[in-house]
């Protein structure tokens, strides 16, 4: 990334921090290293009294009447100074939390008909329970896997932007997409959990991108649950622990990936009880061969989980 763009991002993050008045945008949870509360400028501008003190309703009403137009003007001024960027590239967009025209055009959303197990798109509809040939031969440990995008240049940029370029502000929008793609899975999940990073990698990267996505999905599910009265799954960011650091999976084939992550995950001891009999939804950024998610599922199933589903941002098409 060019230095000038990095500077623009730094300024944007700092304005978020100033807007909350308490620096919440910069708070990192030391245990799981995800921003404790991603408060955006627009979040604050739309709900200014959420962060305010407890004045009387009358006084608050007068304050809001005066402050709201001023905040709206401030937002307009900020959007002129720091126009929102596309979530996947550096192009400017009119609304925050969206893609530019070129990235929309380049995106391939995964859509039905799908294999009921691995979520591979079918050319023809074979019915809701149809499985692809690979899943018939060898049923994966993940009961149902679903993805928002087919992995390509745009979805790779979305995933790497979140992982390496500190585009953590993209998480809420990505969480909304994930919740839409995984509606069926969210409807039956008891627990939502991210694929964990090893402590050493977490220390270097400062946050776990999968935890950010899991958090965003859980927020979306909570909102949807409040609206419809449906039961909402519980978010457990530390449900799994990565007990062994593993070399990067990049460049390895499916068999090598499986042996690379074998035994790398275990269920955190204090969650053992909650896992027994539960239906668990794992969240990750990219599904390549399914080796990592499959190993996580094995650890959960060994601890008595009833079933494990997976929801990811992007899936690599037919790597095997």
Report the interface residues with Zn ion, using CB under 5 A: 86, 88-89, 91, 100, 103, 115, 117-118, 120, 132, 135
CB 220 within 8 A of CB 311: no
> Smallest distance from the beta carbon of 104 to Zn ion, in angstroms?
8
| 107 versus 292: smaller Cβ distance to Zn ion | 107
Burial, 30: exposed, middle or buried (Cβ in 10 Å; 0-12, 13-18, 19+)? Answer: exposed
Q: Distances from the Cα of 31 to the Cαs of 7, 208, 241, 272, 292, in angstroms?
A: 28, 11, 12, 19, 22
What's the closest the beta carbon of residue 11 comes to Zn ion, in angstroms?
20
Show the tokens assigned to 306: 């009833």
CA distance linking residue 312 with residue 185, whole number of Å: 12
Q: Decide whether 87 or 218 has the Cβ nearer to Zn ion.
A: 87
**Residue among 154 and 178 whose Cβ is closer to Zn ion:** 154
Spatial CB neighbours of 224, under 8 Å, sequence gap ≥ 6: 179, 186, 230, 232
What is the H or E stretch that residue 191 is in? Answer: strand 191-194
Nearer to Zn ion, 19 or 88 (CB): 88
Rank residues 185 and 214 by Cβ distance to Zn ion and give the closer one: 185
Nearest distance from C-beta of residue 110 to Zn ion, angstroms: 12
């Amino acid at each position: 990334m060019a230095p000038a763009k990095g500077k623009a991002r730094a300024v944007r993050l700092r304005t978020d921090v100033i807007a909350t008045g308490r620096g919440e945008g910069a708070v990192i949870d030391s245990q799981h290293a995800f921003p404790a509360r991603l408060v955006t400028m627009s979040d604050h501008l739309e709900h200014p009294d959420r962060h305010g003190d407890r004045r009387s309703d009358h006084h608050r009403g007068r304050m809001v009447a005066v402050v709201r137009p001023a905040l709206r003007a401030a937002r307009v001024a900020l959007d002129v100074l720091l126009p929102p960027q596309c979530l996947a590239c550096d192009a400017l967009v009119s609304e925050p939390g969206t893609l530019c025209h070129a990235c929309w055009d380049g995106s391939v959303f995964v859509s039905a008909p799908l294999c009921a197990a691995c979520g591979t798109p079918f050319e023809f509809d074979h019915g809701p329970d149809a499985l692809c040939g690979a899943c018939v031969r060898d049923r994966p440990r993940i009961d149902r896997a679903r993805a928002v995008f087919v992995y390509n240049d745009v979805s790779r940029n979305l995933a790497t932007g979140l992982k390496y370029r500190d585009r953590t502000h993209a998480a809420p929008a990505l969480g909304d997409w994930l919740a839409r793609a995984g509606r069926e899975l969210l409807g039956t999940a008891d627990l939502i959990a991210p694929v964990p990073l090893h402590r050493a990698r977490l220390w270097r990267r400062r946050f776990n991108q999968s935890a950010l996505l899991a958090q965003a999905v859980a927020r979306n599910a909570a909102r949807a649950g409040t609206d419809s009265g449906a039961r909402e799954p519980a978010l457990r960011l530390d449900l799994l622990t990565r007990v062994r650091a593993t070399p990067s999976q990049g460049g390895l084939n499916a068999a090598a990936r499986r042996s690379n992550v074998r035994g790398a995950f275990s269920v955190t001891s204090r969650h053992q009880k909650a896992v027994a009999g539960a239906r668990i939804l794992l969240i990750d950024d990219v599904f390549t061969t399914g080796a990592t998610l499959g190993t996580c599922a094995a650890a959960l199933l060994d601890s008595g989980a009833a079933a494990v589903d997976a929801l990811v941002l992007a899936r690599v098409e037919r790597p095997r």
